[in-house]
Amino acid sequence: MASKGAVAAGHPLTARTAKEVLAVGGNAFDAAVAAHFTACVAEPVLASLGGGGFMLAQTAMRKSRLYDFFVQTPRRKLKAQDIDFKPIVADFGATRQEFHIGLGSVATPGTVKGLFEIHRQLGRMPMRELVAPAIDLARAGVTLNNFQSYIFDIVSPILLATSESEKIFTGGRSRELLRAGETIYFHQLADTLEALASEGAELFYHGEIAHQLVEQGQAGGHLRLEDLTHYEVSVDKPLEFDFRGHQIYTNPPPSSGGVLIAFALGLWTSLKGNPQFGDFEHLALLIEIMSATNQARLDTQLESGLGMSGGDLFESTLMRRYRQQVLGRAKALRGTTHISVIDQWQNVATMTVSNGEGCGSIVPGTGIMLNNMLGEEDLNPSGFHCWSENERMTSMMAPSIINRHDGAIVALGSGGSNRIRTALLQVMINMLDFNRGLDCAIRQPRVHYENDFLSVEAGYDSGVINRLFECFKQHKLWEEVNLFFGGVHAAMVTEGQYQAVGDIRRGGVGL
């Protein structure tokens, strides 16, 4: 009998790798690790061995743990005038946004150590077999789909920033990125993956790759060998809370995404009247909660004036921990992708990863694009280069698991920078309060409110939208679904039946 399971990811090849691992007897954790390696080839802007992320794991015995392999700020900071750090402008079509790249934007990567630690603790298949699909794909080449080509266009100044990166992403053509339908190859990355499968994470943090990375960084980067040799994966207890009898597990502090989702759901519980899905009351309440949650990120007096009635968890323990462990840390909000897997034994893996947008530089001879997490504008209100040394960066990434009171298990997460928390909030409410099925909950239109600006996806009643726009003068109606509103990839099992949904906003696939 074929094994059962569910996989959702941001690319057909990423999802296929996870499915194939499950088919040969691997568990959800094997599948997530293998899928991440493949994502580094199939989704090269959003996933990289030079980035970081989180995986929330729940075993068949319902034991859960959070693997934090996110990036760390360097142990020593160079003077701003001594680093390679420059702005570029990314063009999203409807809007333009400035990012900063260069070797001075690179934080200590955690991906490689994270994947090997997850495999060591939870995997059952040999690592060589998990890396093999990515190696084969990197050598054979990947045909670019429309979504990946769109991402390339958005960050084209980064992909063309250095000759090494340009060679990969143009296929050797001068200044002209590969387009949808064309094939991209990662020959050096294939060699690197092969070496890692043989030698392990030590190669990246102590061995040849570590020394290549540090040598490159001497031309204006903060990273030194001690940053790599001292990097550790953190295995934590997830943030757990109750929402209408459903148990929700998510990313705990020092990351902020999970705690803000918990905070918002607590507000929803205490403030909810009797809205119908898509009516003015529903959307106005969502926007009010988003506004309060935005303020919660900035306000050190969280208990005052927010109308909480969620008990000690929300008013005391959770918010006190938020203030102590999140406020003041360097934040990373950028490009992300997500993988959700549930296997035949009902082990659950939900993994969100990021490389920022990439720093523009490839580690010589490796094919690895390093992150640009220190180039985040959100690092410090007083400007760049104000981050604290040797500290785990906080993130909006919030891989989550819902153990519903009817016995169903849902694994979900999203990319989408600061829209991660509002995307997941809306999908959870759609499922748990409006009783929408998984596919419907994800595909429903979304709203996002931040910095006094309201963004709305088309699909709601026009009268409701017009009424909202009368209340919120700064607004934008998005006529089509867009990656701006996140990309919730989710897997679910209920009464032995499996389901997977990939969010079309971010090229998602469910198998």
Rg over alpha carbons for the chain, rounded to the nearest Å, is 21
Listed range (333-342, 356-365, 467-476) with the worst mean pLDDT: 333-342
Asked whether residue 282 falls in the same domain as residue 387, the answer is no
Across 359-382, average pLDDT: 84
| pLDDT-based confidence at residue 306 (cuts at 50, 70, 90) | very low
Q: Residue 508: pLDDT above 80?
A: yes
Q: What is the pLDDT of residues 407-460, one digit of tens each?
A: 999 999 999 888 899 999 999 999 999 999 999 999 999 999 998 999 999 999
Residue 123 contacts residue 33 (beta carbons within 8 Å): yes
Asked whether residue 140 falls in the same domain as residue 188, the answer is yes
Please tell me the predicted confidence (pLDDT) of residue 300: 40
Please tell me the predicted confidence (pLDDT) of residue 189: 98
Asked whether residue 163 falls in the same domain as residue 284, the answer is no
- 368-369 and 362-363 beta bridge pairing: antiparallel
Q: What is the pLDDT of residues 205-247, one digit of tens each?
A: 999 999 999 999 999 999 999 999 999 999 999 999 999 999 9
Asked whether residue 12 falls in the same domain as residue 105, the answer is yes
Which residues are identified as catalytic? 336
Across 469-498, average pLDDT: 94
Asked whether residue 248 falls in the same domain as residue 202, the answer is no
Please tell me the predicted confidence (pLDDT) of residue 312: 44
H or E stretch including 424? Answer: helix 420-432
Residue 363, classed as helix, strand or coil, is strand
Residues spanned by the domain of 92: 6-235+337-394
For residue 370, being part of any structural domain is answered with yes
- Out of 394, 412, 433, a domain closes at 394
Sign of the Cα torsion 64, 69, 71, 72 reads positive
Q: What is the pLDDT of residues 109-137, one digit of tens each?
A: 999 999 999 999 999 999 999 999 999 99
Question: Who wins on pLDDT, 322 or 265?
Answer: 265
Identity of the residue numbered 431: M
Q: What is the pLDDT of residues 392-408, one digit of tens each?
A: 998 889 999 999 999 99
Asked whether residue 324 falls in the same domain as residue 266, the answer is yes
Please tell me the predicted confidence (pLDDT) of residue 281: 94
Across 480-493, average pLDDT: 94
Q: Which residue in 389, 444, 394 sits closest to 422, CA to CA?
A: 444
Please tell me the predicted confidence (pLDDT) of residue 42: 98
Structure-block tokens of residue 141: 């080449």
Sign of the Cα torsion 226, 230, 233, 236 reads negative
Q: Could you identify the residue written with the tokens 């490009």?
A: 335
Residue 272 contacts residue 285 (beta carbons within 8 Å): yes
Give the chain's mean pLDDT: 90
- Out of 394, 416, 438, a domain closes at 394
Identity of the residue numbered 482: N
Q: Residue 491: pLDDT above 70?
A: yes
Please tell me the predicted confidence (pLDDT) of residue 354: 94
Q: Which residue in 340, 360, 471 sits closest to 411, CA to CA?
A: 340
Asked whether residue 230 falls in the same domain as residue 249, the answer is no
Asked whether residue 176 falls in the same domain as residue 311, the answer is no
Asked whether residue 61 falls in the same domain as residue 118, the answer is yes
Q: Residue 334: pLDDT above 90?
A: no
Residue 321 contacts residue 259 (beta carbons within 8 Å): yes
Asked whether residue 402 falls in the same domain as residue 383, the answer is no
Please tell me the predicted confidence (pLDDT) of residue 448: 96
Give the up-direction half-sphere exposure of residue 4: CA atoms within 13 A in the CB hemisphere: 13
For residue 1, being part of any structural domain is answered with no
Across 29-36, average pLDDT: 98
Asked whether residue 298 falls in the same domain as residue 428, the answer is yes
The rounded distance, in Å, linking the Cα atoms of 171 and 185 is 8
Question: Who wins on pLDDT, 318 or 469?
Answer: 469
For residue 162, the 8-state DSSP code is: S
Q: Residue 317: pLDDT above 70?
A: no
For residue 354, the 8-state DSSP code is: E
Asked whether residue 212 falls in the same domain as residue 300, the answer is no
User: Residue 313, class by beta-carbon neighbours within 10 Å (0-12 exposed, 13-18 middle, 19+ buried)?
Assistant: middle
Q: Find the farthest-apart pair of alpha carbons in the chain and give their distance in angstroms, rounded.
A: 63
Q: How many domains does the chain have?
A: 2
Across 322-336, average pLDDT: 64
Order of all β-strands in the sheet with 447-450: 447-450, 453-457, 475-478
The rounded distance, in Å, linking the Cα atoms of 301 and 295 is 10
Write the CATH number for 468. Answer: 3.60.20.40
- Out of 394, 417, 440, a domain closes at 394
User: Residue 479, class by beta-carbon neighbours within 10 Å (0-12 exposed, 13-18 middle, 19+ buried)?
Assistant: exposed
The rounded distance, in Å, linking the Cα atoms of 150 and 471 is 33
Across 176-194, average pLDDT: 97
